[in-house]
Amino acid sequence: MTTIRLEGLDFFAHHGYYDEERKVGNRYTVDVSVDLDEVNFNDDDLNHTVNYEDIYLTVSTVMSVSTKLLETLASAICQELLRQFPDITQVSTAVSKHNPPIKGVCNKATVSITQRRNNI
């Protein structure tokens, strides 16, 4: 098995439960990990793996659609990566909202979700 990770993908996006959050926007960080089975690296061919630039573009597209919950967002990223890339067998995604609107000091709130191909 091969794992590809993209860590620290930063976005400014309009997600949140409260209307004001979706209006004003906030900083989000996404970490994504995808697992692939039986990848052949002997020929040094990008077509025999998943291009991490394409992973980034998929995450970016999902991040541009406003949602209320981080859980919904993380799940949507997993589902879209599994849908677009048939070689991916499992995706783990962590979405962090910086300075969430809670009554206290919190640098970020994070939701992590893992989905396998047989779960979509």
Phi–psi pair at 85, nearest 5 degrees: -125, 95
Residue 68 annotated among the catalytic residues of the structure: no
Q: Annotated catalytic residue: which of 23, 68, 97, 103?
A: 97
Burial of 110 (0-12, 13-18, 19+ CB in 10 A): middle
Within the chain, how many helices (H) and strands (E) appear?
3, 4
List active site positions. Answer: 97
